[in-house]
């Protein structure tokens, strides 16, 4: 098991109904149980979310095109003190892959700084497009986290967690291998943050691993579909009641794949601590309280990379 990819479907959840993001409505309650069920089985699901109009999605992809067309020396200016938050590319292990990040994308000055770094004359269209996309999509992210918290009886903690969240927006490009073979775009991994929401152009390649080790090739059901995945820091908060999904990108053909990832993560200084409600005889405490930024740094050390689970190696009991 594990080496074969078989096309299959992830659950598709509809967040487009007007009441679906209104806490307490019958749509909310019904979606909440679908979210819980999907995450228990897959650690992720496909969300249909029409609050981001198709014009905005088109503008986002145009903006991404503009970024990737810049000369390498401009893209290399996208630096961050945090690992994997700035430019990543030109790696022998994943030669098809290149990506850039806007950290704290909900802060207008950060988007402006990114735009001014890439285009010294400024780029107001880029700024407006990205701010609007991130703002709308972060609503979906918050809705999902609230639903999960409610479904585990953790609602009293969630506002504080939401208020101490940052968002990283990453643009990724995967060139087609231009060979008859399928080649690695991005190596298998689980994300370390809280929740990840991915969106892509029409070129497929994302694969998600199921509990039995086989791979689902993600095929978006609609142009406004998004993959919502829970990541390791969030599963730690839940004392491992849900698991993060291992995923990878496999590329074939000659068309480039573009994807956007919105990654929520705890602000520096905030502590992830398993709530007492998640611990009982059947579910002993698995993780010590930890700082996300320290976990992320550990993950990129030799020991973190070698560990079968960086999370357990870092803060497992
Ligand atoms: O391109 C994708 O769809 C996946 C990107 C990803 O997994 C990541 O950046 O962590
Ligand atoms: Fe990922």
pLDDT digits (tens, 9 = 90+) for 245-287: 999 999 999 999 999 999 999 999 999 999 999 999 999 999 9
pTM equals 0.96
Confidence of residue 78 (pLDDT cuts 50, 70, 90): very high
- pLDDT of 2 higher than 60: no
Which candidate, 144, 108, 114, places its Cα nearest to that of 226? 144
- pLDDT of 64 higher than 80: yes
Query: What HEC string does 160-182 produce?
Result: HHHHCEEEEEEEEEECCCCCCCC
Burial (CB < 10 A; 0-12, 13-18, 19+), residue 79, is exposed
CB 198 within 8 A of CB 261: yes
Ligand nearest the Cα atom of residue 262: 1
**Per-position DSSP letters for 119-173, written without gaps between them:** -TT--HHHHHHHHHHHHHHHHHHHHHHHHHHHHTT-HHHHHHHHHTEEEEEEEEE
pLDDT at residue 3 in the model: 44
CA of 170, closest atom in ligand 1: 9
Which candidate, 86, 40, 103, 83, places its Cα nearest to that of 230? 40
What CA–CA distance (Å, rounded) separates 141 from 147? 10
20 DSSP assignment: T
281 DSSP assignment: S
Which of 249, 262, 264 gets mutated to test ligand 1 (max ligand atoms within 8 A of its CB)? 249
Ligand nearest the Cα atom of residue 256: 1
Which candidate, 9, 6, 41, 46, places its Cα nearest to that of 211? 41
Which candidate, 43, 274, 27, 269, places its Cα nearest to that of 154? 274
What CA–CA distance (Å, rounded) separates 295 from 192? 8
What CA–CA distance (Å, rounded) separates 141 from 196? 8
CA of 99, closest atom in ligand 1: 9
Going from the Cα of 183 to the center of ligand 1, the distance in angstroms, rounded, reads: 15
pLDDT at residue 4 in the model: 47
Mean pLDDT, range 189-203, rounded to an integer = 96
pLDDT at residue 8 in the model: 60
Q: Is 283 helix (H, G, I), strand (E, B) or coil?
A: coil
Instruction: For residue 93, give Cα distances in angstroms to 76, 97, 175, 176, 301.
Output: 19, 9, 14, 15, 17
Share of the chain above pLDDT 90, in %: 92
Instruction: Tell me which residues have their CB closer than 6 angstroms to ligand 1.
Output: 170, 172, 186, 191, 198, 200, 206, 247, 249, 259, 261
Going from the Cα of 173 to the center of ligand 1, the distance in angstroms, rounded, reads: 10
Mean pLDDT, range 140-157, rounded to an integer = 97
pLDDT, tens digit, 9 for 90 and up, residues 296-317? 999 999 999 999 999 999 999 9
Tokens 């979606």 locate to 31
Going from the Cα of 190 to the center of ligand 2, the distance in angstroms, rounded, reads: 6
Mean pLDDT, range 20-37, rounded to an integer = 93
* CB hemisphere CA count around 24 (13 angstroms): 0
* pLDDT, the chain, mean: 95
- pLDDT of 182 higher than 50: yes
Which candidate, 154, 114, 130, places its Cα nearest to that of 234? 154
Mean pLDDT, range 184-211, rounded to an integer = 96
Which of 91, 198, 225, 256 gets mutated to test ligand 1 (max ligand atoms within 8 A of its CB)? 198
CB 313 within 8 A of CB 307: yes
């Amino acid at each position: 098991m594990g080496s074969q990819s078989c096309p299959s479907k992830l659950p598709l959840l509809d967040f487009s109904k007007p009441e679906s993001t209104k806490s307490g409505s019958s749509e909310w309650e019904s979606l909440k149980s679908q979210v819980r069920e999907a995450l228990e089985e897959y650690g992720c699901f496909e969300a249909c979310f029409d609050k981001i109009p198709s014009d905005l999605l088109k503008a986002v992809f145009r903006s991404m095109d503009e970024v990737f067309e810049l000369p390498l020396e401009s893209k290399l200016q996208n630096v961050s003190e945090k690992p994997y938050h700035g430019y990543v590319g030109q790696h022998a292990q994943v030669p098809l892959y290149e990506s850039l990040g806007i950290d704290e994308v909900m802060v207008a000055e950060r988007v402006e700084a990114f735009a001014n770094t890439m285009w010294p004359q400024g780029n107001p269209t880029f700024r407006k497009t990205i701010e609007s996309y991130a703002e709308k999509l972060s609503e979906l992210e918050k809705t999902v986290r609230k639903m999960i918290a409610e479904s585990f009886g953790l609602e009293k903690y969630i506002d504080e967690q939401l208020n101490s969240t940052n968002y990283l927006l990453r643009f990724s490009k995967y060139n087609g291998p231009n060979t008859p073979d399928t080649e690695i775009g991005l190596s298998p991994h689980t994300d370390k943050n809280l929740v990840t929401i991915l969106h892509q152009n029409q070129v497929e390649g994302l694969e998600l691993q199921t509990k039995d080790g086989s791979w689902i090739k993600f095929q978006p059901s609609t142009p406004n579909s998004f993959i919502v995945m829970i990541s390791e820091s969030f599963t730690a908060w839940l004392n491992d009641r849900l698991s993060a999904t291992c995923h990878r990108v496999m590329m074939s053909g000659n068309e480039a794949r573009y994807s956007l990832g919105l990654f929520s993560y705890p602000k520096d200084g905030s502590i992830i601590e398993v709530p007492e409600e998640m611990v009982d005889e059947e579910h002993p405490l698995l993780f010590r309280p930890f700082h996300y930024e320290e976990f992320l740094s550990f993950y990129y050390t030799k020991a973190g990379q070698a560990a079968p689970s960086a999370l357990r190696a870092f803060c497992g009991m």
